[in-house]
Amino acid sequence: MPIMESWLAVHRKDFKHYSTLRKMLGTEEFYNATATLNGDAAVYSYGEIPVAARGGDSIARAIVFAVGQDDPAPSPPDNLAVTVMQGDRIFIFTEKATVKGMPACSVSNQQTSITYEQCFAKKLPSQSEYPKLVNQAQRLVDLVSPQLQR
């Protein structure tokens, strides 16, 4: 991970609101700046999914997202990304995810796509598919647990 720390130090001015790599890890900004999920298209986060990292100082984050050259809103996200950091290792997983659209957020799409994504993130936990997304994300985190114990 010294490479990531060095990269963040060089780009510190671009990410002033993230004081450490641990805070930036797994965010929309992280994926877009590092081009780890899609090199030629932007990642649009529609909300975080709660996950628990296994092991001492490990950290895990998950988001549902869409990618696109143009903003995908008001289409729902169709991917799940999970990032786990343990010591000097970073693991990134993606899978397709099924998330229904939210018509209640479509009105806000007329204002800005950021408003749509914020609305989506706020309403996502109350959706029927949310527990499945949480389980899907945690399963991906748990895939690395044996790796982290080495």
C-alpha atoms less than 13 angstroms from C-alpha of 73 in its C-beta half-sphere: 24
Query: How do the pLDDT tens digits run along the chain, 150 residues long?
Result: 566 667 666 666 666 666 677 777 888 888 777 777 777 888 889 999 999 998 778 899 999 999 988 877 788 899 999 999 887 888 999 999 999 988 888 765 556 778 888 899 999 999 999 999 999 999 999 998 655 444
Supply the pLDDT for residue 97: 96
Structural domain boundaries in the chain: 2-148
State the DSSP code for 100. -
Cβ–Cβ under 8 Å, residues 47 and 62: no
What is each CA distance from 112 to 72, 78, 115, 122, in whole angstroms? Answer: 12, 20, 5, 16
Supply the pLDDT for residue 61: 94
Supply the pLDDT for residue 19: 66
Taking the model in full, what pTM does it have? 0.83
